[in-house]
């Protein structure tokens, strides 16, 4: 069996219509820490929680600012089941860099939860610092989507900084707008081009706005994908405050689980479909039986995806090509999208047969479209 992919749609068809801010650190097999540093007294500590019941292998890759990091060598670690790896001064102790500013990519063979603290203890009166969560790759901003970072200020008391990381293995273009509390655009950035897997940093003054007391940055990705965050720094104490961007999530928090449903043709013949979705909203496997009224048989098809297929890609269609005894084969195209309340996957499956002979010659050519409906049966 061979698998052929259709081009991914720019707008994610499975995104929930009403987006909400993330309220907690989110797990994933691939997560990105958008800002980290070891310089001028600042140190980054990292924690990696494995909430699963099996050990997990993880790899950490350091990503420098403003350069192509695809060839950067990862560091491999093992985190025991239910354990938390506490990686103090991770940039030096694990990644081997004495001075660096950038981002970190974390990949695991099962979902992990990653958070950080960037701190400075050079003031002599305790420490000051801020924390960033590692964001799942599936939450990265893509073309057609927008996010906001509220709470910025640029005046005598505060300054603000913007950070991003390109999660694509190709250049990403990004544009930022500064809004006042009423939503009026105060300034628009140039179009920034981020190298593959590059970290990004700019002070908010780079947008060209005058001083302001309250502001929100609106971020758009024009091509590629990126995670964007911010920071507001007290000019007297130098204490920073983390400013996170919002990203969409399903109402139940995850689409993970096994989805089961029916495949129904125009004549009422029933087939079946099953879909396995991981914790990071990727599809591990799909299996279906397809009723064919034109040649009065059921076709079976299935595929395991490696790497896993983003759930959103099913909106653009995924092709499964299955061969059968006697030389015949069928190219199936499965297209699915969520209902408004994200409790049902619905769409179509169509097939094109070829190579059938004898009694099955009628299976050649286009098969009628069948309707597909799935509900999540388990987590």
Secondary structure (DSSP) of 86-122: EETTHHHHTT--SSEEEEEEEEEEEEEEEEEEEEE-T
pLDDT digits 0-9 by tens, 98-115? 999 999 999 998 889 999
Give the span between the Cα atoms of 3 and 244, in whole angstroms. 38
* Strand partners for 1: none
Percent of the chain with pLDDT over 90: 49
pLDDT recorded at residue 156: 96
What does the pLDDT average to over 319-341? 81
Can you tell me the mean pLDDT for 123-129? Answer: 84
Residue 240 or 270, more confident = 240
The dihedrals phi and psi of 188, each to the nearest 5 degrees, come to -130, 130
Give the pLDDT confidence score for residue 45 in this predicted structure: 98
Q: Specify the pLDDT at position 20.
A: 29
pLDDT in the model for residue 359: 85
Tokens of 45: 């500590």
Burial of 236 (0-12, 13-18, 19+ CB in 10 A): exposed
Q: What is the pLDDT of residue 288?
A: 85
**Cα 32 to Cα 28: distance, rounded to the nearest angstrom:** 10
Q: Are 369 and 349 in contact (CB under 8 A)?
A: yes
In this predicted model, what pLDDT tens digit does every residue of 290-329 receive, in sequence order?
Answer: 888 788 787 888 877 878 888 888 888 888 888 887 788 8
Average pLDDT value for residue range 255-267? 74
- The CATH code of domain 28-243 reads 2.60.290.11
Q: Residue 185: exposed, middle, or buried by beta-carbon count in 10 A (0-12, 13-18, 19+)?
A: exposed
How far apart, in Å, are the Cα atoms of 127 and each of 33, 114, 117, 327? Answer: 21, 22, 11, 71
């Amino acid at each position: 069996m061979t698998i052929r992919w259709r081009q991914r749609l720019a707008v994610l068809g499975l995104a929930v219509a009403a987006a909400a801010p993330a309220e907690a650190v989110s797990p994933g097999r691939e997560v990105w820490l958008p800002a980290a540093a070891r310089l001028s007294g600042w140190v980054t500590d990292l924690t990696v929680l494995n909430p699963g019941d099996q050990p997990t292998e993880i790899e950490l890759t350091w990503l420098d600012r403003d350069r192509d990091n695809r060839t950067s060598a990862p560091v491999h670690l093992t985190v025991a089941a239910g354990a938390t790896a506490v990686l103090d001064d991770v940039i030096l102790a694990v990644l081997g860099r004495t001075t660096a500013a950038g981002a970190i990519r974390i990949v695991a063979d099962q979902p992990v939860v990653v958070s950080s603290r960037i701190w400075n203890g050079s003031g002599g009166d305790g420490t000051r610092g801020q924390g960033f969560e590692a964001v799942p790759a599936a939450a990265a901003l893509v073309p057609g989507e927008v996010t906001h970072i509220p709470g910025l200020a640029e005046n005598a008391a505060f300054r603000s900084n913007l950070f991003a990381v390109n999660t694509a293995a190709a250049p990403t273009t990004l544009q930022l707008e500064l809004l006042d509390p009423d939503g009026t655009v105060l300034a628009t950035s140039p179009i920034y081009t981020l190298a593959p897997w590059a970290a990004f940093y700019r002070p908010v003054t780079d947008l060209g706005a005058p001083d302001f007391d309250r502001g929100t940055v609106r971020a758009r990705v024009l091509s590629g994908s990126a995670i964007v965050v911010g920071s507001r720094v007290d000019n007297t104490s130098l204490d920073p405050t983390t400013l996170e961007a919002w990203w969409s999530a399903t109402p139940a928090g995850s689409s993970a689980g096994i989805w089961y449903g029916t495949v129904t043709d125009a004549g009422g013949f029933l087939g079946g479909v099953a879909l396995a979705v991981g914790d990071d909203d990727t599809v591990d496997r799909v299996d279906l039986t397809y009723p064919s009224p034109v040649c009065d048989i059921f076709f079976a098809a299935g595929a395991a995806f490696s790497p896993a297929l983003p759930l959103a890609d099913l909106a653009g269609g995924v092709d499964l090509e299955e061969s059968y005894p006697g030389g015949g084969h069928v190219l199936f195209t499965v297209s699915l999208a969520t209902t408004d309340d994200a409790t049902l996957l619905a769409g179509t499956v169509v097939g094109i047969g070829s190579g059938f002979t004898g009694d099955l010659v009628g299976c050649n050519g286009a098969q009628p479209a069948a309707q597909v409906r799935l509900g999540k049966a388990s987590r």
